[in-house]
C-alpha cells in the first residue's frame, strides 16, 4: 500500500490552489491550502506536511520571511512559487535554503515532477543523516540529527543546504571539491543559477566559522578549482 504524501500550499491565488488541489487528488497527494501567512506554524504542526509550496508574493507578508520562520522550527522541503521570471528571486530563495522553485505560469505535471524530485532527495538525505556521525574540530561541533553546529557550546542554525555543504567539506578535510561536486549536493537538476548560490552559501558558512576563538578550521577557496575545508594545526 502506498502512503499518500501531504502537500501544504501557501498561496493567495484561490483559483490556482483549487486547480492544484483537484488535480493532485488523482495522484498520491493530499493537499492542505492556506491563502495567507497566518497561523502557518500551527497548520504545520497539525497537518505535518511532507513538502510545502510557498508563494513569494503573499498578501500579508513576504514569502522569503515566512521561509526563514518555517525553517527555524521545521525540517520540511520547501518549493518556492514565483510569478516573476527574475533570476534574483530564484537565487534568494535558494540561498535561504529552498529546495526548488517553480515560475508561474507552470504546468501541474511539471509541478508534480518537481515535488517528486524534492521528496526523493529529502528521503535520501534523511536516510543519510542516520548514518552520519558528529564531527568535532576544536571548538566546532557539527551535529547531523539537528542540522546545526556548535561553536564554544553555542548552537547555530544552518539552512539545509548550508549543513549539507559543510558536512561534505568537513568530512573530507583538505580535499578540494569543484562547484560541480557541490552542485550535486544542492540539486539533482542542472540549474545555472545554483552555481551563483553556492558561493553565497560558502560565504554564509565562513561567517559562522569566524566565531571560533581561536580559529581552528575554515573553508578555503582554491582558485580555478573550488573549495576545501582546512584545519589549522596551530591555531592563532
- pLDDT for residue 108: 85
- pLDDT for residue 209: 93
- pLDDT for residue 236: 46
- pLDDT for residue 151: 92
- pLDDT for residue 41: 92
Give the CA distances from residue 170 to residues 129, 156, 176, 186, 229, in Å, rounded to whole numbers and listed in that order. Answer: 15, 16, 11, 16, 6
- pLDDT for residue 127: 44
Do the beta carbons of residue 80 and residue 93 sit within 8 Å?
A: yes
pLDDT along the chain (236 residues), means of 10: 80 90 84 90 92 90 89 85 72 78 85 86 58 84 86 86 88 88 66 64 91 89 90 65
Do the beta carbons of residue 94 and residue 201 sit within 8 Å?
A: no
| pTM score above 0.85 | no
21: nearest Cα among 11, 124, 62: 11
Q: All domains of the chain, ordered by start, with CATH? A: 5-129 (3.40.50.2300), 133-231 (1.10.10.10)
SS (H, E, C) the chain: CCCCEEEEEECCCHHHHHHHHHHHCCCCEEEEEECCCCCHHHHHHHHCCCEEEEECECCCCEHHHHHHHHHHHCCCCEEEEECCCCHHHHHHHHHCCCCEEEECCCCHHHHHHHHHHHHHHHHHHHHHHHHCCCEEECCEEEEHHHCEEEECCEEEECCHHHHHHHHHHHCCCCCCEEHHHHHHHHCCCCCHHHHHHHHHHHHHHHHHHCCCCCCCEEEEEECCCEEEEEECCCCC
Amino acid at each position: 500500500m502506498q502512503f499518500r504524501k501531504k502537500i501544504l500550499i501557501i498561496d493567495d491565488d484561490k483559483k490556482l490552489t483549487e486547480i492544484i488541489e483537484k488535480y493532485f487528488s488523482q495522484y498520491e497527494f493530499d493537499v492542505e491550502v492556506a491563502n495567507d501567512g497566518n497561523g502557518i506554524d500551527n497548520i504545520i504542526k497539525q497537518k505535518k506536511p511532507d513538502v510545502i509550496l510557498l508563494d513569494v508574493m503573499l498578501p500579508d507578508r513576504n514569502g522569503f520571511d515566512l521561509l526563514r520562520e518555517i525553517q527555524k522550527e521545521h525540517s520540511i522541503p520547501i518549493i518556492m512559487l514565483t510569478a516573476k521570471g527574475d533570476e534574483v528571486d530564484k537565487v534568494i530563495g535558494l540561498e535561504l535554503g529552498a529546495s526548488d522553485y517553480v515560475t508561474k505560469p507552470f504546468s501541474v505535471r511539471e509541478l508534480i515532477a518537481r515535488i517528486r524530485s524534492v521528496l526523493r532527495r529529502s528521503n535520501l538525505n534523511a536516510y543519510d543523516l542516520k548514518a552520519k556521525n558528529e564531527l568535532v574540530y576544536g571548538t566546532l561541533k557539527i551535529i547531523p540529527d539537528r542540522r546545526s553546529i556548535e561553536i564554544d557550546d553555542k548552537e547555530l542554525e544552518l539552512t539545509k543546504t548550508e549543513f549539507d555543504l559543510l558536512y561534505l567539506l568537513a568530512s573530507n578535510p583538505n580535499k578540494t571539491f569543484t562547484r560541480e561536486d557541490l552542485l550535486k549536493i544542492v540539486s539533482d537538476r542542472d540549474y545555472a543559477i545554483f552555481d551563483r548560490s553556492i558561493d553565497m552559501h560558502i560565504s554564509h558558512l565562513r561567517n559562522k566559522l569566524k566565531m571560533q576563538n581561536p580559529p581552528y578550521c575554515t573553508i578555503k577557496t582554491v582558485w580555478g578549482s573550488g573549495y576545501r575545508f582546512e584545519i589549522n594545526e596551530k591555531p592563532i
